[in-house]
């Protein structure tokens, strides 16, 4: 298991661009999962009684993990790269 982790890090250092799941080769679909999220949204009520969202003050209190959406492999070690490449 520890060996596997080191191999993953090597792969991370070698590959310059795309994140690829080391378990199944998926390089397209990923899941970001946040623990302990407090969802806080601000709304204003319009004159006709409808509501419009004007703010999102949601906070993630727990860990954020990244998973392969194909095989659910834990790819959290790629999460920083994922954030860097998120546009």
CA distances to 20, 40, 66, 80 from 27, in Å: 4, 32, 13, 16
Minimum CB separation from Zn ion for residue 71, in Å?
3
Instruction: Kindly state the smallest distance separating residue 38's Cβ from Zn ion, in Å.
Output: 30
Residue 1 or 54 with smaller CB distance to Zn ion: 1
User: Based on CB atoms, which residue is closest to Zn ion, 19 or 21?
Assistant: 21
**Rounded (10°) CA dihedral 46, 49, 50, 52:** 30
* Residues near Zn ion, by CB under 5 A: 21, 23-24, 26, 68, 70-71, 73
């Amino acid at each position: 298991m520890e060996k596997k982790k080191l191999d993953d890090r090597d792969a991370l250092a070698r590959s310059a661009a795309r994140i690829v799941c080391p378990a199944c080769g998926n390089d397209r679909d990923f899941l970001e999962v946040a623990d302990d999220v407090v969802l806080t949204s601000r709304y204003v009520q319009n004159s006709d009684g409808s509501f419009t969202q004007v703010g999102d003050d949601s906070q993630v209190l727990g860990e954020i993990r990244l998973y392969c959406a194909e095989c659910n492999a834990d790819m959290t070690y790629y999460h920083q790269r994922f954030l860097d490449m998120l546009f």
